[in-house]
Copies of this chain bind each other. A is one copy, B any other.
Amino acid sequence: MPPSPSRVTQADVARHAGVSRTTVSFVLSGREDTRISIEARQRILGAAEELGYRPNLTAQSLRTRKTYTVGLVSDIVASTHYAGEMIQGALEAALERDHLLYFAESGDDPDAERKLLQGMLDRQVDGLIHAAMSTRARRVPEQLRSQPSVLLNCLDESGEFASVVPDEEAAGRQAAKLLLEAGHREGIHVVGGRCVTRGAPDGVYAGRERMRGIEAALAEAGVRLSGVSECDWSAPRFGYGAARRLLEAGPRPTAVVCCNDRLAFGVYQAAAEQGLSVPHDLSVVAFDDSELASWLRPALTSVALPHREMGRRAVSLLLSPEEPEPSVHRIPMPVRRRDSIAVPHR
Q: Give A residues with C-beta under 8 Å from B.
A: 2-3, 6, 54-59, 61-65, 67, 69, 77-85, 87-88, 91, 95, 100-105, 116, 118-124, 235-237, 240, 262, 265, 269, 272, 292, 294-295, 297
A104 to chain B, nearest CB (A): 6
| CA A207 to CA B112, docked complex, whole Å | 39
CB nearest to A87 among chain B residues? B78
Q: Note all chain B residues with C-beta closer than 8 A to A103.
A: 87, 91, 101-103
| CA A120 to CA B68, docked complex, whole Å | 11
| CA A122 to CA B150, docked complex, whole Å | 26
Q: Note all chain B residues with C-beta closer than 8 A to A2.
A: 63-65
A88 to chain B, nearest CB (A): 6
Whether B294 pairs with A235 at a CB distance below 8 angstroms is yes
CB nearest to A69 among chain B residues? B123
From B63, B104, B121, A101 is in contact (CB under 8 Å) with B104
Whether B62 pairs with A295 at a CB distance below 8 angstroms is no
| CA A62 to CA B102, docked complex, whole Å | 19
Known: A81-B80, A84-B77. A101 touches B100 (CB 8 A): no
| CA A87 to CA B79, docked complex, whole Å | 8
| CA A217 to CA B117, docked complex, whole Å | 50
Residue among A91, A100, A294 having the largest count of chain B Cβ atoms under 10 Å? A100
From B3, B56, B84, A122 is in contact (CB under 8 Å) with B56
Q: Note all chain B residues with C-beta closer than 8 A to A297.
A: 240, 269
| CA A176 to CA B103, docked complex, whole Å | 39
Whether A84 pairs with B88 at a CB distance below 8 angstroms is no
9 A-B residue pairs with Cβ-Cβ distance under 8 Å, sorted by A, are A56-B124, A57-B123, A58-B58, A79-B85, A83-B84, A100-B102, A100-B120, A102-B103, A235-B295
Known: A2-B64, A78-B88, A81-B81. A57 touches B124 (CB 8 A): yes
Known: A81-B80, A105-B91, A265-B295. A54 touches B124 (CB 8 A): no
From B58, B78, B81, B104, A124 is in contact (CB under 8 Å) with B58
Whether B55 pairs with A58 at a CB distance below 8 angstroms is no
Q: Note all chain B residues with C-beta closer than 8 A to A81.
A: 79-81
